[in-house]
Amino acid sequence: MLRYFIVIAVTNLAFDLAVAEQNNEKDTGFPWELVIDRGKINGCIYNNRYYSNGSIVVKETLPRKCKIDSNRDGYWAQLEEDELKLYESSVRSQMKLEEEALTVGIEPLNKYEAAIVRFMRRSQE
């Protein structure tokens, strides 16, 4: 009798897990119908996240750009020389802005003080 109870309990548990997995797959919240064309995803996936064509991600410490090949498969390609220069210059300018806006002397600014400093600097330009 105990064996039958264990078999029924395990069967019910397996059924409940299967139903839960199906529900989780349906409720992802991402509108896949907008990015799937004839069974292919129009973009790239990295770390379980979707990126559209042309997106740039720092992958293995190198920037990569999402491209679509002739088979409509997304792949991560190296940036071209001019794109890499633009990317590096934008990173440098962003680091400079963050450095200037977030500290005065040794003490870091809170987000409100930093916003005021940014506003004052932009108004002077």
What does the pLDDT look like over 17-72, one tens digit per residue? 455 555 555 556 777 777 777 777 788 888 888 888 888 888 777 888 898 888 87
- DSSP output for 16-52: HHHHHHHHHHHT----GGGTEETTEESEEEETTEEEE
Note the pLDDT tens digit of each residue in 6-15. 545 445 444 4
Query: With bands split at pLDDT 50, 70 and 90, how would you rate the model's confidence at 101?
Result: low
Q: Is residue 114 over pLDDT 50?
A: yes
How wide is the angle at C-alpha 28 spanned by C-alphas 26 and 32, nearest 5°? 85
Residue type, 71: N
**pTM tops 0.75:** no
Residue spans of the domains in the chain: they are: 1-30, 34-79, 83-124
What's the CA gap between 77 and 75, in Å, rounded? 6
Q: Which two tokens stand for residue 49?
A: 């996240």
* DSSP at 105: T
